[in-house]
Structure 1
Amino acid sequence: MASPAKLNLFLAVTGRRADGYHELVSLVSTVAWGDTVELALDDGPDEIVLSCTSAGVPAGPANLAWRAAALYREERPFSGRLRIGLEKRIPAGAGLGGGSSNAAAVLWGLERLLGDTPGEEVRRARAARLGSDVPLFLAPGPVLMRGRGEKTETVPPKLAAALKGRPVLIFKPGVEIATARAYQALAAGAPESHTPESAAEDLWRRWVAAPGSAPLANSFSAVAAAKFPAIALLLERLRKTFGARCQLSGSGSACFWLDPPAPPGPEAAIREAWGPEAFLVRTHLGHPRPNLGGSCDAQTVA
């Protein structure tokens, strides 16, 4: 199963709640690139065995895909050994939602393996228990996120059509930004670091009205720039040199360039600034969610 990355076309953190979570408004789209997840159920003991092509990826409860399987088994018990295979392409600490996407793929895959049809409400509630970003990967297209991120709204059809297939260049420096640390830094600068709710809603209205020219914005831009000035310096250079529509995704450190010119100019400029360790991939917005319904003939879903 494909497990796509996501991009925050705009991300406005509007405040911090009494429970410690932050309120946000964000327009998010998946892309046609990411990880691959495979599930297999056999007659072994009732356990979850996770393997990954990348070294250093946790294989137990520290992995969100493992926790997704454990939660599913807790809510809907099933017998046998569940094997989860992850082929990782999405870098960690990038703000691209790799772990959340893997968890959503596991939920989808278990529905297929077990022939379950829990309904959208149950599916979304299960995903929200795992993490704020997981529900967005259950949506059939781009979404507007609210609350701490677990509340998703389908965007108007005209906006969805305008976003689908738009080319994008994703690029990341050779550094990672931990999401929890980024939120801590944002909270330390409050209230100045927060985006007023009125400004966040204005961003949303501008995207609905004119997606071809609406601004890319991210409340974490200043946080990322303070920790890694090279990120802000490169984004500004790309804007001045190419007129680029580029921005940080999530809490970083990955950035994206919407509607980039043909290679090799953009790639050369990024590697000149960040060196050979820079990660780059060209793809486009939009990735369909898996088809569901009925039981799976095989004991493997891929």
Structure 2
Amino acid sequence: MVSARKQVEIVYNPDERINKLADEVDKEAAPVSRLTLFSPCKINVFLRITNKREDGFHDLASLFHVISLGDVIKFSLSPSKAQDRLSTNVPGVPLDDRNLIIKALNLYRKKTGSNNFFWIHLDKKVPTGAGLGGGSSNAATALWAANQFNDFLATEKELQEWSSEIGSDVPFFFSQGAAYCTGRGEVVQNIPPPLPLDLPMVLIKPQQACSTAEVYKRLQLDRTSKADPVTLLEKISRNGISQDICINDLEPPAFEVLPSLKD
């Protein structure tokens, strides 16, 4: 019965895990009917592209790190047993199954057999097309929320494994906030976060779009950095982050696709 459920609002704690709900909610108490969750974005402290695979994807080695910028997503159970309903504060955001939130909820139902559908409102703060993983974070948040509403039908490890079917960046958002990511990005190794989340940071997002597909088309592997990503991690562990660590193999081809990025 929905009437036996409760509302829960989660306040993001940057000194703890990305999601604190599993620690905050008493699993023996009445299940929730509404959730308000923070959905943080991420930066790539360094990004090495190491190989082009036979399936057309590229292997990468990168240090992903969440920052305090993020979206807020509100979930509530819908009486419908047919479809989810998504709204947002930003025009132009798809509201159907092109949106990764809806894809994530569909995937959860497919994997678990759940028949719960949701009303969702996305308060969008993370710019799209900025390489910050906003959509991937939204997808991970939706999977995690669905699991709360369904009394934990899946383990968090299962959610992380399933999430790679949505996108390569999604599994990272089940990490502890910083991770060394390899493969297409879906192989996640937790590391101690080297950056405090209250560190002042300037992010610049140009108005023009820069197609990731076009950037990869311009990538020349023989012209990428030769820095060993494991060595970069060791330097960060010893000395912290410095400019020489912040290597991005996609920067040169991105400048070719969108020369104004250099201005």
Q: Shorter-chain TM-score category?
A: 0.7 to 0.9
Query: 2:150 is aligned with what amino acid?
Result: L
Query: How many residues are matched?
Result: 226
Aligned equivalent of 2:238, options 205, 209, 229: 209
Structure 2 counterparts to residues 211-250 of structure 1, below 5 A: 211-213=240-242, 215-233=245-263
Query: 2:82 is aligned with what amino acid?
Result: D
Is structure 2 residue 228 aligned with structure 1 residue 199? yes
Aligned to 2:82: 46
TM-score by length of structure 2 reads: 0.80
- Give the superposition deviation at 1:164: 4.5
Structure 2 counterparts to residues 51-200 of structure 1, below 5 A: 51-116=87-152, 118-155=154-191, 157=192, 160=193, 163-186=196-219, 189=220, 191-196=221-226, 199-200=228-229
- Give the superposition deviation at 1:205: 2.3
Contact 2:42-2:64 within 8 A present in 1 as well: yes
Task: Give, in whole Å, the separation in 1 of the partners of 2:144 and 2:38.
Answer: 11
Between stretches 81-90 and 8-17, larger displacement belongs to 81-90
- Give the superposition deviation at 1:208: 2.1
Contact 1:46-1:82 within 8 A present in 2 as well: no
Give the match's secondary structure for 1:153.
strand
- Give the superposition deviation at 1:161: 5.3
Instruction: Mark the runs of 5 or more structure 2 residues left unpaired by the alignment.
Output: 1-36
Task: Give, in whole Å, the separation in 2 of the partners of 1:62 and 1:79.
Answer: 20
**How much identity, in percent, do the aligned residues show?**
31
Q: Which has the higher contact order (CA 8 A, sep 6+)?
A: 1
Aligned to 1:32: 68
Structure 2 counterparts to residues 251-266 of structure 1, below 5 A: none
Task: Give, in whole Å, the separation in 1 of the partners of 2:112 and 2:156.
Answer: 16
Contact 2:112-2:154 within 8 A present in 1 as well: no
Task: Give, in whole Å, the separation in 1 of the partners of 2:112 and 2:80.
Answer: 18
Task: Give, in whole Å, the separation in 2 of the partners of 1:19 and 1:194.
Answer: 21
Contact 1:5-1:30 within 8 A present in 2 as well: yes
- Give the superposition deviation at 1:162: 5.0
- Give the superposition deviation at 1:48: 1.7
1:197-248 Cα deviation digits (max 9, x unpaired) = x533332222222114352110111012112223224xxxxxxxxxxxxxxx
1:157-211 Cα deviation digits (max 9, x unpaired) = 4xx255453321111111122222222222xx2x324444x53333222222211
Give the match's secondary structure for 2:165.
helix
Classify 1:201/1:58 alpha carbon distance in 2 versus 1 (closer, same or farther; 3 Å).
same
Classify 1:206/1:232 alpha carbon distance in 2 versus 1 (closer, same or farther; 3 Å).
farther
Query: 1:129 is aligned with what amino acid?
Result: E
Query: 1:208 is aligned with what amino acid?
Result: S
Task: Give, in whole Å, the separation in 2 of the partners of 1:231 and 1:108.
Answer: 36
Contact 1:15-1:194 within 8 A present in 2 as well: no
Give the match's secondary structure for 1:102.
helix
- Give the superposition deviation at 1:84: 2.0
Query: 2:261 is aligned with what amino acid?
Result: I
What do you get for the CA RMSD once the two structures are aligned? 1.8
Query: 2:95 is aligned with what amino acid?
Result: A
Classify 1:200/1:86 alpha carbon distance in 2 versus 1 (closer, same or farther; 3 Å).
same
Give the match's secondary structure for 2:207.
coil
Query: 1:116 is aligned with what amino acid?
Result: F
- Give the superposition deviation at 1:117: 5.2
Task: Give, in whole Å, the separation in 1 of the partners of 2:123 and 2:60.
Answer: 31
Query: 2:166 is aligned with what amino acid?
Result: L
Aligned to 1:259: none
Is structure 2 residue 54 aligned with structure 1 residue 18? yes
